[in-house]
Structure 1
Amino acid sequence: MTTYSKTSALMRRGAEFLGSDHAILCGAMSWVSERNLVSAISNAGGFGVIACGAMTPDLLDNEIAETKKRTDRPFGVNLITMHPQIMDLIDVCTKHGVGHVVLAGGLPPKGSVDRIKESGAKVICFAPTLALAKKLLRSGADAMVIEGMEAGGHIGPVATSVLAQEFLPELAEDHLVFVAGGIGRGEAIAGYLEMGAAGVQLGTRFACATESIAHPDFKKAFFRAGARDAVASVQVDPRLPVIPVRALKNKGTELFTAKQREVANLLDGEGIDMGEAQLQIEHYWAGALRRAVIDGDVENGSLMAGQSVGMVKKEEPVADIIAELLAESESALTRR
């Protein structure tokens, strides 16, 4: 077995926290981060994370059970904080003894962090600002993920490199911070580890793995794309606080602009509240992503991808991707 002594030494805290061989998390990608890819990543020494997305508790219950049939290694579950049944979803995770729950999409609702921790599970949160990260850590979060705007899917406004410079000097000594967004090669991993990151999270590099169930046409779109093809959506109505989404530009990008106008008109005419408006937007993304990932409709569906998509050139097994990233990181650290 190949050893990566320098990389492993810098990843030690993160790997021990996750219970994995390497502190490499797979970003939760709806319809992509399911039982097959998640178990493959965990079996290869990384840390797979199920994307719960808009799943009902029953669907999540089945997904966790099926993942456990495929791996005996640790994996996590990503829950969207605005999900109307989040407490029930937490109970499903508890039932299965899930060791790590990732809360994404906004501030955790009251009582959710405590409920997860009561089960003995670890809580991982996302934070767009240093002040919010400190607040979440004081409130019980066990680790943070800082994700830059180079990432695919929902993104914030600040680049990964800037977030790392803000967060890591302040937090890394006493807390576990994983860096995400735009990471496609091991040299970048080495740099963030040297800055104090406990590990990294990648999504786009894993989306087209051999074990990914994504449609062949979805994968081909990734192979053809370059960094400039992964663009962020625009906000049409200032009243509608839509989190930008990075995806490969296609007709689906235009359809989302039209969907925003439709929801904004509902705010005007039918008296729906802002929470319902935001849920409609989230349901749109879930459907658009499914059309691309499962049905292969790469024109009208959503091809969520990070700017590292230009580094995804072919379909390859998860184990090979992880080995390549580790070898690149080790080589970079050795050259220092």
Structure 2
Amino acid sequence: MQRGIEFLGCDYAIMGGAMSWVSERNLVSAISNAGGFGVIACGAMTPDLLDTEIAETKKRTSRPFGVNLITMHPQLSELIDTCVKHDVGHIVLAGGLPPGWAIDKIKESGAKLMAFAPALALAKKLMRSKVDVLVIEGMEAGGHIGPVSTSVLAQEILPHVASDMPVFIAGGIGRGEAIAAYLEMGAVGVQLGTRFVCAEESIAHANFKKAFIRASARDAVLSIQIDPRLPVIPVRALKNAEVERFAAKQREVADLLDKGSIEMAEAQLQIEHYWAGALRRAVIDGDIESGSVMAGQSVGMVKKEEPVADIIAELVDEAAAALESRG
């Protein structure tokens, strides 16, 4: 983990997953203050909103933290400028293969760039593009995910990449024993989202947290793609009435495509804004029936509300004990 610690500049190479509406100033600063590495979820924020969020996070911690930006955001360039203005040391590009100009812009600013690699071929392409760190995230994760499990991706990618660049593992990690296993395979650290949702410092609504505490792994299900012409990235969330409503939304957007009313890029953006609104209803308003309760399959390991520092300490102790037991 030392390699990951040196890259992030924190005590433990445990990154907080970027969860829209949840990974904001309070949780991000708490993770960094506890020795981990908090990451702001920019999501659909405007540059002005991100500017405020970074400034407010800096008021709450002097430790390093990062910002996660979505590649399809129409103001990606301005969002990068906002990060550069605040001397954000680490920028994560998510939601698709990063455009070359964005990679160049971030690298030229001096910030360290992290990107998601959903397959070995893309991992090698990102390496050639001079990305600093890869994140391998499997389908067990919450929110937008790919089709392959974390354990399979780790086996496919780590042996070919880990010696050349640092790799973090994400998706379905809920205990320290799993962290230890991925470190032994060559990863330098991990990223967790679901375990931090019920932290005391998380602003998620009490209803949202209760849903997590009551849920089991099998309750975190995938959204279904209705129209094959509409490339919708699957979302993992706790099953509720919202899942059916999303199917209706897809049909509505597909109909607009048929009529030529919108282009494909706009169609994808509409889907993204839909999820952002549905997630806000659940996280902020506490509407866990008509809102989207995005959760990873590790949700079954979330048993109570507790401080971030206790969650990180438990994960580190479990990982250390697992490694010691193996000599």
TM-score normalised by length of structure 1:
0.96
Give the aligned partner of residue 309 of structure 1: 299
AA at the equivalent of 1:89: L
Give the aligned partner of residue 232 of structure 1: 222
| Correspondent of 1:37 among 9, 27, 30 | 27
Partner Cα separation in structure 2 for residue 106 and residue 180 of structure 1 = 16
Matching of residue 87 in structure 1 with residue 77 in structure 2: yes
Partner Cα separation in structure 2 for residue 271 and residue 287 of structure 1 = 22
Matching of residue 321 in structure 1 with residue 311 in structure 2: yes
Partner Cα separation in structure 1 for residue 34 and residue 188 of structure 2 = 19
- Cα shift readout 1:142-185 (whole Å, capped 9, x = no counterpart): 00000000000001010000001011111111210000000000
| Correspondent of 2:188 among 184, 188, 198 | 198
- Cα shift readout 1:85-106 (whole Å, capped 9, x = no counterpart): 0000000000000000000000
Structure 1 residue 140: deviation in Å? 1.5
Partner Cα separation in structure 2 for residue 307 and residue 28 of structure 1 = 16
Matching of residue 138 in structure 1 with residue 138 in structure 2: no
What SS does the aligned partner of 2:15 have? strand
Structure 1 residue 136: deviation in Å? 0.8
Partner Cα separation in structure 2 for residue 255 and residue 286 of structure 1 = 14
Give the aligned partner of residue 163 of structure 1: 153
| Correspondent of 2:269 among 260, 272, 279 | 279
Q: Give the superposed CA RMSD.
A: 0.6
Matches within 5 A, 1:49-60: 49-60=39-50
Partner Cα separation in structure 2 for residue 214 and residue 335 of structure 1 = 37
AA at the equivalent of 1:43: N
- Cα shift readout 1:109-165 (whole Å, capped 9, x = no counterpart): 231011111111000000111111111111120000000000000010100000010
Matches within 5 A, 1:174-193: 174-193=164-183
| Correspondent of 1:294 among 273, 284, 287 | 284
What SS does the aligned partner of 2:123 have? helix
Structure 1 residue 328: deviation in Å? 0.5
Partner Cα separation in structure 2 for residue 179 and residue 28 of structure 1 = 14
Give the aligned partner of residue 3 of structure 1: none
What SS does the aligned partner of 2:100 have? coil
AA at the equivalent of 1:24: I
| Correspondent of 2:138 among 137, 148, 172 | 148
Structure 1 residue 270: deviation in Å? 3.9
Q: Show structure 1 runs of 4+ deviating over 4 A.
A: none
Identity %: 79
Matching of residue 249 in structure 1 with residue 239 in structure 2: yes
Give the aligned partner of residue 123 of structure 1: 113
Partner Cα separation in structure 2 for residue 87 and residue 136 of structure 1 = 19
Gaps of 5+ in 2: none
AA at the equivalent of 1:301: G
Partner Cα separation in structure 1 for residue 69 and residue 99 of structure 2 = 11
Partner Cα separation in structure 2 for residue 19 and residue 111 of structure 1 = 26
Structure 1 residue 33: deviation in Å? 0.1
Partner Cα separation in structure 1 for residue 201 and residue 90 of structure 2 = 22
AA at the equivalent of 2:163: E
